[in-house]
Chain A
Amino acid sequence: MSEPVSQVRVELPFHLRNLAKVDGEVRLSVPEPVTIQAILDALEAAYPVLRGTIREHGTGKRRPLLRFFACAKDYSHEPADTRLPDAVASGKEPFLVVGAVAGG
């Protein structure tokens, strides 16, 4: 029997949308439970060019100038295996990858 899968929406910053050649939101099939890591694994599997652009190669750490949000909450500093709200798992709310505003 196949494992349960959620349909998740992900919003990427402008430059990563360009790199992945996508318009608007990305829709991903993510195995449950839907965690930060599960979403990023699915995102990188679907768009290999994004590997290393959100999480560093080698360490897998979030790149320092990127942040993660969902349901108006900052998940940037939460552990990668943090389970995301049902609203994200159900596709009602998107998971946001946001570039930190640094001016210039």
Chain B
Amino acid sequence: MSGVRVLVGTRKGAFILTSDDKRQDWKVDGPLFGGWEVYHMKGSPVDPNRIYASQSSSWFGQIIQRSDDGGKTWYAPGGEELPDPYGPPAGISNRFIYDTSDETGKPLTTHQWYDGTQHPWEFKRVWHLEPSLTDPDTVYAGVEDAALFRSTDGGKSWQELAGLRGHGSGEQWMPGAGGMCLHTIVLDPSNPNRIYVAISAAGAFRSDDGGQTWKPINRGLNSQFMTDPTAEVGHCVHRIDMHPSQPNVLFMQKHWDIMRSDDAGENWYEVSGNLPTDFGFPIQVHARDPNTIYVVPIKSDSEHFPPDGKLRVYRSRSGGNEWEPLTNGLPQSDCYVNILRDAMAVDRLDSCGVYFGTTGGQVYCSPDSGDHWYPIVRDLPPVVSVEVQTLS
């Protein structure tokens, strides 16, 4: 029987919500990793039992967790191997070390700080885990301070793809309000060598050689907070999404503005259209219709809550510009939650389900592409991320 598994990362642990394809009755498991921040969990597209989770804490740092049984049991890959007790520490699990070698990268060690001075690159946490489309042991990690890492041994060890930080503009990158994070990783299903990433506040970047070399793809973006609003880098991109059937078409929620590219990011144009505000964090493409996209407008960059206290998802069926509010089942008064960039996802059932989590701890589900909504859970810790696995 088909069904869905919703992976929810929160400020105080992770939860797994499961249902059959009707998506009416839910089983809630958790908290996993209670008390830790779980910025992201995501399953392998080729092995749904393989799930990776980013567990972090300001006190204890970064842990990568892995499940090989669909979330029933977890372990820190690499941490299970006991070396000689008197030997030097040999483990490299959870070890994210920036590559500053001359051979593989460039000795780039500073970026722009909030006040414009240069600041050392300091690892803080993994924001996003993106499993390979073809190999369950290969997974990418987007981290703060912004860099891209890859593991090819199931999360036991991580190597930086240093060509991104070292491509030439790294010294101009600066942190956004949430830190200087690489939060979006999009793998092109039609081209295994093509990877997109997005960084706040640097912009979008693309590699066409499997992550070895990178170039900024920000032409058409306009960011008024920048000294040069159309500069090559410095834009605060909040999230990018793509439909696998149209890999050259990208949709972007920027700090302000909903943007679209029809040429793999070479050029962007605005499709904010009739939205009440085009500030927001997530953007999500429908699983079956590549021209249907969802955003959740937020009042402004200074007021991170829905306009007028009304929680409204907006849907465009035309790839942007024309948007309709979706309100059935969502609170339409006194609602002041936020929806973070990784906290929206879709399933791939015949009637596409749309899901999002809020900073108020609700996870909403619409089993009919956004026409009707209901909360699966109401009282979780603040939700940071939502991913959905469609199970057959």
Which residues of B104-124 are within 8 A (CB) of A?
Answer: 123
Q: Is A27 in the interface zone, CB < 8 Å from B? A: no
A62→B45 CA distance, assembly (Å): 38
The answer to whether A57 touches B96 (Cβ under 8 A) is yes
The answer to whether B81 touches A48 (Cβ under 8 A) is yes
The answer to whether A45 touches B83 (Cβ under 8 A) is yes
**Per-residue interface assignment for chain B, residues 60 to 92, with 1 indicating a CB less than 8 Å from any chain A CB and 0 otherwise:** 111100000000000010111111111111110
Which residues of A77-93 are within 8 A (CB) of B?
Answer: none
Q: Which residue of A lies closest to B86 (CB)?
A: A31
The answer to whether B59 touches A99 (Cβ under 8 A) is yes
Q: Is A15 in the interface zone, CB < 8 Å from B? A: yes
The answer to whether B91 touches A100 (Cβ under 8 A) is no
Given A57-B96, A99-B59, does the pair A49, B79 have CB atoms closer than 8 Å?
A: yes
The answer to whether A65 touches B59 (Cβ under 8 A) is yes
Given A57-B95, A57-B96, does the pair A51, B59 have CB atoms closer than 8 Å?
A: no
Given A15-B36, A19-B76, A51-B95, does the pair A45, B86 have CB atoms closer than 8 Å?
A: yes
The answer to whether B91 touches A48 (Cβ under 8 A) is yes
Q: Is A58 in the interface zone, CB < 8 Å from B? A: yes
Q: Is B248 in the interface zone, CB < 8 Å from A? A: no
Which of the residues A19, A44, A56 comes within 8 Å of B89, measured between beta carbons?
Answer: A44
The answer to whether A66 touches B59 (Cβ under 8 A) is yes
Quote the shortest CB–CB distance from B303 to chain A (angstroms). 23
Given A51-B89, A52-B95, A57-B96, does the pair A16, B60 have CB atoms closer than 8 Å?
A: yes
B contact residues around A19 at 8 Å (CB): 60, 63, 76
**Main SS of chain B's interface residues?**
loop
Which residues of B327-368 are within 8 A (CB) of A?
Answer: none
Quote the shortest CB–CB distance from B104 to chain A (angstroms). 16
A46→B83 CA distance, assembly (Å): 8
Q: Is B227 in the interface zone, CB < 8 Å from A? A: no
Which residues of A53-86 are within 8 A (CB) of B?
Answer: 53-54, 56-58, 63, 65-66
Given A41-B88, A45-B87, A48-B79, does the pair A63, B61 have CB atoms closer than 8 Å?
A: yes
Given A41-B89, A51-B91, does the pair A46, B82 have CB atoms closer than 8 Å?
A: yes
The answer to whether B83 touches A48 (Cβ under 8 A) is yes
Which residues of B40-60 are within 8 A (CB) of A?
Answer: 57-60
A29→B86 CA distance, assembly (Å): 9
24 inter-chain pairs at a CB distance below 8 angstroms, sorted by A residue, are A15-B35, A15-B59, A42-B86, A44-B91, A45-B82, A45-B83, A45-B84, A45-B86, A45-B87, A47-B79, A48-B79, A48-B80, A48-B81, A48-B83, A48-B91, A48-B93, A51-B79, A53-B60, A53-B63, A57-B94, A57-B96, A63-B59, A99-B59, A102-B58
Known pairs A45-B87, A48-B79; list 9 more (Cβ under 8 Å).
Answer: A13-B60, A41-B89, A42-B85, A45-B84, A48-B81, A49-B76, A51-B89, A52-B61, A57-B94
Q: Which A residues are within 8 Å of any B CB, using their own CB?
A: 13-16, 19, 29, 31, 41-42, 44-49, 51-54, 56-58, 63, 65-66, 99-100, 102
